Amino acid sequence: MLPRKDMFDIPEGVIYLDGNSLGVLPRGAAARAQQVIAQEWGQELIRAWNTADWMALPQKVGDRIAGLIGAPEGSVATGDTLSIKVYQALAAALKMRPDRRVILSDSGNFPTDLYMAQGLIGTIDKGYRLDTPAPEDVMAAITEDVAVVMLTQVDYRSGRMHDMKAITEKAHQMGAVMIWDLAHSAGAVPVDMAASNAEFAVGCTYKYLNGGPGAPAFIHVRPDIVEQVQPALAGWMGHDAPFAMEPGYRPAMSTERLRVGTPPIVQLSILDAALDAWDGVDMAELRAASIALSECFIAEVEARCPQLTLASPRDPQERGSQVSFAFDQGYAAMQALIDRGVIGDFRAPDIMRFGFTPLYLDEGDIRAAAEIIEAVMKGELWRDPKYQTKSRVT
């Protein structure tokens, strides 16, 4: 049943609509971290790699994530950051299509994905180019020149959602490799990586999965191509036998070959505890709840605040689990809201973002948030000078 508010620590007086950026603290996560620090590390020291089975934790957590993105067990590796996982997936994908030179993304993709592609192109220096048409033009841009299609399924600004099945099918028809970034999808919308047949997927775990700031990323590789994948970052933990200490790299015969360095055990333990909140959750039920909350929010805000313009697709089937409104004083307005207990965030140039997380939000929260938004907008409370100076993180 949703929501599961009793499984989270939400500060009193806060309506949290920013789980699409950083999830809330799950109950049990802090205690798990303390256990790992004080007991496993503190008492067992280096023995904990065996006695607490730290070595198995990345795969254990990967398998739990796999269940949330429709991927088979053993196909998800965890660790490092999302940027690193983008780089790994893209580098491996390009090697699978050595005669092609085009990486296709879109102009709305999250900047780090594009930066990693640009950096990789500069490193390889073999005439590759990055094409970024408008999101609505991606399908037409998938031609036989394209080596890799690399897209984020749910747009970070507007929540607009790409059609994973249709785009993947087109990419494969044209002979391209498909990479999906699930940063705003995992834990937000139903994902079926097995059915999509995409070669790679990457994602982070600190948003809807509530793994905490700096939580490790993940990468999924379609099982039938694992042995073709040549890791660009051939790290010790991706070796088939790390403790054989061989001078040459021999990749693990699984997705584990895409592990790089020592796993972040404390963060992985927090994430493992956070994933307990997902036990027994039906993603179709969660999606239905998400749509109901977001539709209620749009209706309430549009009725109360004509100053705000919907910047997300109106059709709920075309957006993820967030709603964005445009307002020319969006940053200041969001600071005024945060001061009054409604926490969302701002993305340049004028987007106020609100995330919907049915694990810990209900309709009462949404209506209460809309009332506060109305008070801020009608009273022009955002004009207060203290809301005009931008913080480092918006």
Identified catalytic residue from 110, 128, 327, 346: 110
Identified catalytic residue from 85, 160, 170, 207: 207
Please report, for the chain, how many H helices and E strands are present, in that order: 12, 15
Are 337 and 343 in contact, with CB atoms under 8 Å apart? yes
How far is the C-alpha of 368 from the C-alpha of 355, rounded, in Å?
15
From 133, 141, 187, 160, select the one nearest 324 (Cα to Cα): 160
Are 104 and 142 in contact, with CB atoms under 8 Å apart? yes
Q: Please report how the helices 363-378 and 283-304 are oriented relative to each other, as an axis angle in degrees rounded to 10.
A: 30
Identified catalytic residue from 87, 206, 360, 387: 206
Q: DSSP letters of 247-312?
A: SS--B-SSGGGG--S---HHHHHHHHHHGGGGTT--HHHHHHHHHHHHHHHHHHHHHH-TT-EE-S
What are the structure tokens assigned to 28, written together?
Answer: 């049990």
From 13, 34, 9, 12, select the one nearest 23 (Cα to Cα): 9
Sign of the C-alpha dihedral computed for residues 128, 81, 207 and 67 taken in this order: positive
How far is the C-alpha of 374 from the C-alpha of 376, rounded, in Å?
5
Are 264 and 80 in contact, with CB atoms under 8 Å apart? no
Identified catalytic residue from 106, 113, 155, 181: 181
Helix (H, G, I), strand (E, B) or coil at 329: coil
- Residue 353 a catalytic site member: yes
- Residue 206 a catalytic site member: yes
Are 201 and 69 in contact, with CB atoms under 8 Å apart? yes
Q: DSSP letters of 154-191?
A: B-TTT-BB--HHHHHHHHHHTT-EEEEE-TTTTTTS--
Q: Give the residue numbers marked as catalytic.
A: 110, 181, 206-207, 353
